[in-house]
A and B are shown apart, each in its own frame.
Chain A
Amino acid sequence: MTAGLHRPSDIQRERITYRRRQTVRSVLVAAFSTAVVGVLLYVAVTGAPGWDRVRTSFFNPGIARESFPAVLEGLWLNVRMLVVCAALALALGLFIAVLRTLRGPVFFPVRALATGYTYVFRGIPLIIVIYLFAFGIPGLRLRGTPGVLVLGGAALVVTYGAYLAEVFRAGIESVHPSQLAAARSLGLTYRQTMRHVVLPQAVRRVAPPLLNDTVALQKDVGLVSLAGPIDAVRAAQIATAENFNYTPYVVAAVLFVLLALPLIAVTDAVTLRAARRQSAGI
């Protein structure tokens, strides 16, 4: 073997030129068809009879500029809620998942409650949970009832906790039983096995779906506006009512997407790395 750059043979050089020509052709075709679809869409939308009304009602630049500060300030509330609710939902989900994996007849009531919780809160629509928490709990007139913001956040935590619990449980059950056998053989108790052997592996495995659910939570934080707190959606709602124009909603939408982009990028990167590691192992 000669050290240094590999000089391709004639056959290989022919192959390279052929493939390059094919790539150029594919790119041109793709660009052309995208342009055609773009033009058709543009014509279809702007040619629609109601387009002018829609444009002024939803895409008014002046109103967009006016409502931007209020919507942005509301978004700050969404961000803070996201951080707190995500952390609490993850903790709750992990706790419930571990409860569901406890073995032995003595733990049956605990397992049953945990299972019941995940069934119920994956079934009820989040919007109803928010209404029930934000308007129902204060109705009980208990001393020290927190404000609608906390109640709305609690609704999010409780609902997402149920989904995350299932994700964690799948992760825990995916750890091979031989790992448990090895850990128990060393004399580790069930709790120690969970803490040092199973959970570290389980959480790493389900990082992609966990992140994905966090992205979903980031959107649903907007629903807390139904309970009253002035977040981005509510701020947009108020601005819309003041101006008789829907543009603030579009502003809020754009800001939500911008907020989601970093998290989505991280999620995709983690998912890709996990997938690559899976296939590399085979």
Chain B
Amino acid sequence: MFGTAVVLDDLDLTVAEHEVVALIGASGSGKSTLMRCLNLLTEIDDGTIHLDGEEITDPRVNPDRVRQRIGMVFQSFNLFPHMTVLDNITLAPTRVHRRPVAEARAQAAEWLGRVGLADKADTYPDRLSGGQQQRVAIVRALVNNPRLLLLDEVTSALDPELVGEVLTMIRGLKTDGMTMVLATHEMGFARDVADQVVFLDGGRVLESGPPARVLRSPVEPRTRQFLSRIIEAGRL
């Protein structure tokens, strides 16, 4: 709840390891809030969240330590502008996970090579395109070996021609077996990549299931209405 507005209500969601869950829904349906609750950025008012069998919403649990096991990537990339790409990526491994600097840099360089950004290691974020910045942001989250990766509308702020490179990277992560929850408007991508599609409406799970069913033959009228608008907009 924010003030008197109920943002998430009576929500029940289970994500298995290696599963990819796509959250879809209109703006204000609670997708971003749900993701921020999952990594404890936003405090929940009621209910529980469990990660790997541990209740992370227990007040005795240190939220910083929980966040070390969850990675999050944002719509507006949120790279640290005063640091180079390499420093952005190695900040958490060296400061939070206390790994040796040389090892962290080597791993960062390897990841950058894998996504085709090896020559950008010493550049500052403002010199990169949106797609490049977002891929760096994803690498920044990945180098900490998270148990769960949260992707909050990571392509919504990108030019259409840059969306593809980010989606390709996420497809690669799925192949590697990363457990992911992604909020997205890219229905085609959700259909290809997700194991489970969850439609949020007014803070509740209105419908959920395999993408073939939810996206092609939804049960609820609200879902049908939402999807027809998406199809009209050419997104599916």
* Interface residues, chain A, with chain B CB atoms under 8 Å away: 178-179, 181-189, 192, 196-197, 200-201, 204, 281
Contacts and interface: CB of A to CB of B under 8 A. Distances in A.
B85 interface: no
Q: How large is the interface on B (under 10, 10 to 19, 20 to 34, 35 or more residues)?
A: 20 to 34
A188 B64 contact: yes
Nearest to A176: B78
A185 B36 CA distance: 9
B95 A179 contact: no
A204 B82 contact: yes
Contact of B92 (A179, A188, A281): A188
Contacts of A187: 64-65, 67-69, 92, 96-97, 144
Interface string B74-89: 1010111110000000
Contacts of B91: 186, 188, 196
A181 B68 CA distance: 13
Contacts of B223: none
Given A188-B92, A201-B82, 9 more contacts: A178-B76, A181-B36, A181-B41, A185-B41, A185-B141, A186-B92, A196-B80, A201-B80, A281-B126
Contacts, number: 63
Contacts of A179: 78, 80
A182 B72 CA distance: 8
Contact of A186 (B36, B81, B96): B96
A184 B80 contact: no
A281 B127 CA distance: 12
Contacts of A184: 41, 64, 67
A197 B95 contact: no
Given A179-B80, A197-B80, A185 B144 contact: no
Contacts of B70: 185
A63 B136 CA distance: 68
A181 B64 contact: no
Contact of A188 (B74, B82, B96): B96
B185 interface: no
Contacts of A200: 82
Interface string B25-36: 000000000001
A184 B78 CA distance: 12
Contacts of B69: 187
16 contacts: A178-B76, A181-B36, A181-B78, A182-B72, A182-B137, A185-B67, A186-B71, A186-B96, A187-B92, A188-B64, A188-B91, A188-B92, A188-B95, A201-B81, A204-B82, A281-B126
B135 interface: no
B39 interface: yes
Contacts of A188: 64, 91-92, 95-96
